Amino acid sequence: MNVPLYEKLWMWAAGVLIVAFLAMIAVGVAGSALQPPSHVETIDPTKIWNDPRFVRRGVTLDEHGATVVVVGMMFAFMPAEIRVPAGRRVTFRVTSADVTHGFQIVGTNGNTMIVPGYVSQFTTVFREPGEYLIVCNEYCGLGHHLMSAKLIVEEARP
């Protein structure tokens, strides 16, 4: 089969682009530890204050690290101050009491949407102790810019 030179070049260029796109996904997953949303857990948003999964909000420590249960609502996070140990696995479980919010831990890879009716969950490790700002990054109403919380990563005690 006789394929003209230009057609060959374009075919190779398309092949290189496909490899480049796949490599970008691989770098995102392996290099930056980004996780695609894969945890599908539903919740009745009108009943979260009585739901056993969200009755006790805040940090629970265990031998692997910590679990943090958070409710986002117009225009605050509950709790507004979260303390977790550095260098340990921290699993966040977040849901919304009203509309769609965001939950972004600035300067880290912790970032998820909070959609009413669903529990968003992700696990990450904070290597650097310090104070981190948590912001809502989905426009949720007039007080959107006020919606924030504080994450304090503490040096792990031996």
Closest contact distance (angstroms) between CB of 13 and ligand CUA is 42
Which of 147, 149, 151, 153 touches ligand CUA (CB under 6 A)?
147
Which of 139, 152, 154, 155 touches ligand CUA (CB under 6 A)?
139
Closest contact distance (angstroms) between CB of 148 and ligand CUA is 9
Stretch that binds ligand CUA, among 42-50, 78-86, 122-130, 135-143 (CB under 6 A): 135-143
CB nearer to ligand CUA: give 51 or 138.
138
What is the rounded radius of gyration, in angstroms, for the C-alpha atoms of the chain?
A: 21
Binding track, positions 45-84, relative to ligand CUA; x by CB under 6 A: ------------------------------x---------
Residue showing tokens 């003209």? 4
Nearest Cα to Cα of residue 84 among 93, 72, 92, 94: 92
Closest contact distance (angstroms) between CB of 153 and ligand CUA is 23
Closest contact distance (angstroms) between CB of 137 and ligand CUA is 7
Show contacts of 25-31: CB within 8 Å, 24+ apart: none
Please give the single-letter amino acid code of residue 62: D
Binding track, positions 95-124, relative to ligand CUA; x by CB under 6 A: ------x-----------------------
Q: How many CB atoms lie within 10 A of CB 35?
A: 16
Token code pair at residue 1 = 């089969």
What CA–CA distance (Å, rounded) separates 109 from 88?
A: 15
Residues whose CB falls within 8 Å of the CB of residue 67, separated by 6 or more in sequence, listed in order = 59, 60, 90, 91, 92, 93
Residues that bind ligand CUA (CB under 6 A): 75, 101, 136, 138-140, 144, 147
